[in-house]
Each structure stands twice: as structure tokens, then as C-alpha cells.
Chains A and B, each alone.
Chain A
């Protein structure tokens, strides 16, 4: 690997969060975002080609070294690290609505899901997957929620545009229901 790639590898190893390209570029005064991206590609290919136990992944607005899925069970059995708790179906539904409609208030979320969402919003907020991003115009100026950078990180997304677009979904809204 070239010297820049080795420097980036060291920096990614030292960091406990995904590191954005511009932060990586700041490591070396001669590096540009383009050379950093090229070097990141070199690291990723090296990990891939030489059969490493880790891989370089782009997610949550940055790059991060992650272990390969096939070693997760062994690592967890040895209690070296633990997987985060799985989100419930209700939490995933609520997150899906917020991700697509943000900023959105609680009343609208409940209207779409047809059930009360207070407790779920609270727990998603506690897990820092959503945050209050503003207040609505309506009565009582309701709190509006949006997703956080941690949401992108925990769903291995680079940005929100990586989510499937509404028109790519199997269900599309037909303009008019058929008359009977």
C-alpha cells in the first residue's frame, strides 16, 4: 500500500466512528479528497484480496473498519463485543416513517401507523436514532422529529438517498381507486 493508504489505515484503526473523507484529507497536507478516496479504495481492495478478518466500509457519512459478519458469533461467544439489541417491528416502522417524511410530528406518525407511538418515539430518542429537529406550525407547535447521523451508521447507510425511493417500492399508490 502507498504511504497515504497506510496513514489512513492507522487513522481509521484509531477512530471509534466512521471518519469522513475531509477529516481524512486533513491528516496529510499533500492529500486531496480525490487521492484520499483512491487510497481508501486501495485499502478496501487489499483487505478483500488478502483475505482479512476486517473490511473497510463506507457508511454514515464516513469510512469505518468493521469485522466480517462470519466472525460475529465467535466474537460474541467469547464476550469480546456484543451486538446492539434488535429493534422491534414497531420501532422500525416508526423509523421508516421518520426517515421518509422528516421533519414529521407525532400525530402524523400515529395517523400513518394507526397506533399510539409515544413510547416508541421516546425509546428511539433515547437510542439517539432520532432527534427533535424543530417545531410544527399547528396547534401546540408540535415537536418535529428527524433521523440522526447515528441512524445512518446503525443501518450502514451513506446518506438518506440510499433508501429505496417511494416509486421503487412494490406498492405504488394508484391515483384513483376503481369505482364500484
Chain B
């Protein structure tokens, strides 16, 4: 099947000169002068492994994957098989197909390289389009009276600026402090909606909240909320009340 591994004296090759594992493999096949349709996998695999030993780590993955592939093909070829087995497929077939495909690509890219080199050696006109230049505006032809009346028209048009009026809506914290004190004077416990009606406007809600926090700070009441977003219990603080 395959010739016994005969490394001879493998010459040192800069791996950087190869475009990838397929390129290295093709180069080995050329150097060993073996038939691409009948690759001696064991010998080529050993050569391949020997070459990638000095590999820089950032390139390693692609070469190692190919090494693993070669070793698997080598193992598959070693499996005993029936000579008359029609269904047997050469495990090297896929590799051969890829190598030939890659060789085609190399040939085309050599061709492209020659064409690019030829084009590189000729210069075209290096003209760049200018930005389109606007013609300068014609000088103004009008009297002072016309200019002033134009200004007047513009000013009249702009007389009523559409501005949004922001209505100041001061918070009424003191008012709510009074309300809360009045409620707590009657009962020891109260809830949020005892302080504020459900349809209250935002300024009222804010005022009530600030009033509650202020009274809590002064020690007149205590606020408790069992769960987040749960109902708030307002409790009269007897000490605060005494003071």
C-alpha cells in the first residue's frame, strides 16, 4: 500500500512561505514526486508533521487540523477490507478533491497576479473631479425703501411667536402637612389613600409624598411598607406628637 516511512533528510522550510496546510501538502507531494491520485499517506503525513513542528502558535490550528485529517486517513487505510467490496470508498478521495481544487485556485491566482502586475506598470490619468463651484450670487438691486419694507414684512410675520407657556405649579407641601396632621390627630394609623384621593394630579402626589417624608424626618410619624410597591402604613409617633 504505502512505502515505509523514509524521511531521508527533510530540508528546513520556512513555513511562512506557505499559504496554508493545502499549500504545504501540495509542495510535499511535488517534492516527493508522488502521484496526487495515489498519495502515500503514511510518508506524506510524517513529512507534514515534521514540517509543522516549528510552527508559530497563531497558525497552528489550521495545520494541526490537516495533520489530524492525514492521520485519520492513514488509520482508515490500515483497516482490513474485502478486496471485492464494491462499496469501499478510498478515504483519500476527499483530500485529493480538495488538493486539486486548491491547485486550480493557485493556477488562477498566478494568472491574476501576472495580470495585476501588468496593469500596475501602467499609469492612468490621475485626474480628480473638482467640487462643483456655485456661481457667485448676483449683486442686489433694490432701494433702501424696498429693503426696509421687506424687513417690516418679515417682522410682522414673526410678530407672534408660538411659544409654549410653562405654567408654574408650586408644590403645596405645607398644605399637606396640615392635612396629614389633621388625619393623624383623629386616628393613630392612616394609609396613603387617606392622605390623597386616587385621581390626584401629579403635583398633589409629589406634595403629599414630600409632606410625609418631612413629617417622618421630624419624628411626627413613621412610614412602613411591607413589600415593594405595597400599601404604605402611616403611624402616628406618640413622642413626636408630645413634643
With a cutoff of 8 Å between Cβ atoms, the chain A residues found around residue B126 in the complex are 16, 81
Given that A16-B125, A65-B125, A174-B37 are known contacts, is A113 also in contact with B119, CB under 8 Å in the complex?
no
The smallest C-beta distance from B5 to any residue of chain A, in angstroms, reads 18
Partner of B19, one of A14, A113, A153: A113
Interface code B105-129, partner A: CB below 8 Å = 1, 0 otherwise?
1111111110111111111111111
List which A84-115 residues lie within 8 A (CB) of chain B.
84, 86-87, 89-90, 92-93, 95-97, 99-100, 112-115
Interface residue tally on A, bucketed by range: 35 or more
* B123→A86 contact, CB < 8 A: no
Interface residue tally on B, bucketed by range: 35 or more
Complex: A99 Cα to B107 Cα, angstroms: 13
* B124→A177 contact, CB < 8 A: no
Partner of B109, one of A69, A84, A86, A93: A93
With a cutoff of 8 Å between Cβ atoms, the chain A residues found around residue B110 in the complex are 92
> Tally of A-B residue pairs with Cβ under 8 A?
130
With a cutoff of 8 Å between Cβ atoms, the chain B residues found around residue A67 in the complex are 122-124
With a cutoff of 8 Å between Cβ atoms, the chain B residues found around residue A15 in the complex are 125, 127
* A169→B104 contact, CB < 8 A: yes
With a cutoff of 8 Å between Cβ atoms, the chain A residues found around residue B9 in the complex are none
Complex: A115 Cα to B15 Cα, angstroms: 14
A170 within 8 A of B: yes
- What are 8 A-B contacts defined by CB distance under 8 Å? A83-B120, A87-B116, A95-B109, A153-B119, A155-B115, A173-B97, A174-B100, A180-B1
